[in-house]
A and B are shown apart, each in its own frame.
Chain A
């Protein structure tokens, strides 16, 4: 699979390309929207990492052109225009994800993996998510662990679904705010930590091993394997 990087800053583009290759994808780097459009036709990438402010114009216009040409690839805007209103505008105009600069490389990596996984998962219609001893029934909106029912609030259910669908991958607080709470701004206070802490306590009843691990400086990891923090 190919990841197309549209970025005019060579250092950032190089870091993105290395990350794409680490994730096992071929990286194609271009520095203009014109080159982006021809590269999409040539390489049919799975994901485009798109800078918004290039000398040739606003990247959101390029998304519109790509969509008009029928390109269905995933687009993540990575831009210095990082305010809540910029992000809302980007998502409304066809971006699948929006990451503000300066970004943490680990956050970019987590978002890329989540996006690519979302593309793969969308084709399957499965009501049941099973992870280790955890069972999530999507239609019934129930959670069981080790055969015991766990009462969760609607938001906690969405939280655990998001964790489970990104199992074994780092998930940042911003990603949780955006996907679970649909917030395009950071409320600053540790609201996410508090909600995750409550869910964690519910999942770890009777001394069951933890599933949600805090990764310092990154966010969380949903895994059954022991993690050193």
Chain B
């Protein structure tokens, strides 16, 4: 394709050059012919036909050959008065019109001319023509160069095209092969690392990143399916036991069947909530690099709303709830998810803090981050648990009496990651503290 287009371009260029040269040569020839006619007209103005005839004779004497220029002066009876030819060429008539024609001499050699014949006052006919040999030779040379160079250009273009396109086509074939393999299920196939920082190198890197992401999502889906398959066996088992109890109670007229039915209902609700929590975690993890649904949120307002929801519970349990000072802490995020994150952390903190304990919610800014801290004076988390506590279904020791499925902190981590927040567990003297550093939006102010 490159060879064809380059050759076509070269042909078009050659044609354009030919036309330009032809135009210029024609203009030069015409200028000489116009000068001849002007000279003869000046001579005629001096002494009429006598001067013209003398002028013609001078030109002949000066060596003007008929192969270069022909001229002729005739009287009213068409008798020759002067000139280097005897007769008017057949192609010419006295019309003041430029004509190109050809004459053959006695030796049979043809010469091409351009000229015209005009009538002078008094009925005299003047003919003047110049050979186009030089012009035609120039144009022939241009044509010849073009015809010789075009195949050469085509060959060079084909060679250069092959040198450029060959590697590109090979790289495209490689990417196609990788994608075909992926289509057949080989999700671990990747494009070869490119040593060139060019478009194809970047395309390969993008395809690899996309495949990494697809593989990661696939792993998460498989992991979710595994979790659902394994972790829901327990509630289903409890349901089976409750149904067995209901079946037994149905035969006992003194039994209160409503209690069994409520137990089953409660188990189903718990099972569904585990399902939903698992799906929420997976969805949030899958959306980790997406800003879809994100708006600028005031984290202080969200904290206020959650604290308002939990303040009564904290008070009932005798737990003091300290809230952050007034301020505006803007972050980019999903308001519902952020509320859920804070609710989960506050819920945990209040649940695990004993009576007369304290839960503190803090908001501040540090460099380009909004820092949310939630700490409590509860029993804290054992050192060997700290790394695992964000994993699904991981619960602390001695927590059997506290309701929960061990999914809350996994969701907190997923929501934090989705919001680009860094999660850390600062060391505290007593209890537990968690710190989340969100990327701040402009106009965040506060203590």
Contacts and interface: CB of A to CB of B under 8 A. Distances in A.
Interface string A67-83: 00000000000000011
Given A188-B273, A189-B347, A217-B265, A85 B310 contact: no
A195 B308 CA distance: 10
Interface string A190-226: 1100110010000000000000000011000000000
Interface stretch (A31-39, A117-125, A179-187): A179-187
A155 B313 contact: no
Majority DSSP secondary structure for residues of A touching B: loop
Contacts of B265: 104, 217
Contacts of A100: 272, 276
A89 B183 CA distance: 32
Interface residues of A, number: 24
Q: Name the residue among B268, B340, B351 with the largest chain A CB count within 10 angstroms.
A: B340
B280 A84 contact: yes
Contact of A191 (B268, B305, B313, B403): B313
A189 B339 contact: no
B316 A187 contact: no
Q: Specify which of A83, A181, A191 lies most central, judged by the most chain B CB atoms within 10 Å of its CB.
A: A191
Among A181, A187, A195, A217, which residue has the most Cβ atoms of chain B within 10 A? A187
B425 to A, nearest CB: 22
A228 interface: no
Interface string B260-288: 00100100100011001001100100000
Interface in B167-190: none
Contact of A216 (B262, B310, B316): B262
B335 to A, nearest CB: 10
A147 interface: no
A84 B312 contact: no
A85 B313 contact: no
A88 interface: yes
Given A104-B265, A194-B316, A84 B336 contact: yes
B309 interface: yes
Contact of B350 (A82, A84, A189): A189
A185 B279 contact: no
A195 B336 CA distance: 21
A187 B347 contact: yes
Contacts of B272: 82, 100, 102
B313 A181 contact: no
Interface residues of B, number: 25
Contacts of A195: 312
A181 B336 contact: no
Interface string A13-34: 0000000000000000000000
B340 A185 contact: yes
B370 interface: no
Contacts of A187: 309-310, 343, 347
Interface in B127-171: none
Contact of B308 (A102, A155, A188, A194): A155
Nearest to A92: B293
Nearest to B308: A155
Contacts of A84: 276, 280, 336, 340
Given A104-B265, A216-B262, A217-B262, A185 B313 contact: no
A190 B314 CA distance: 11
Nearest to A217: B262
A102 B267 CA distance: 12
B404 interface: yes
A155 B305 CA distance: 10
B347 A188 contact: yes
A217 B259 CA distance: 10
B312 A88 contact: no
A85 B280 contact: yes
Contacts of A194: 312-313, 316
B336 A88 contact: yes
B267 to A, nearest CB: 12
A191 B312 contact: yes
A191 B276 contact: no
A51 to B, nearest CB: 17
A85 B281 CA distance: 12
Interface in B333-390: 336, 339-340, 343, 347, 350-351
Contacts of B404: 188
B328 to A, nearest CB: 21
Interface string A86-113: 0010000000000010101000000000
A100 to B, nearest CB: 8
A216 B279 CA distance: 29
A185 B335 CA distance: 12
B313 to A, nearest CB: 5
Contacts of B279: 83
Nearest to B310: A191
Nearest to B350: A189
Contacts of A88: 336
A190 B313 contact: yes
Given A83-B279, A104-B265, A186-B273, A191 B340 contact: no
Given A82-B272, A83-B276, A188-B347, A198 B312 contact: yes
In the A-B complex, the 6 residue pairs with the closest CB atoms: A194-B312, A194-B313, A187-B343, A189-B347, A83-B276, A217-B262
Given A84-B336, A186-B273, 6 more contacts: A83-B276, A155-B308, A183-B309, A189-B350, A191-B312, A194-B312
14 contacts: A83-B276, A84-B276, A84-B340, A100-B272, A102-B272, A155-B308, A181-B305, A183-B309, A184-B336, A188-B347, A189-B310, A191-B309, A191-B312, A216-B262
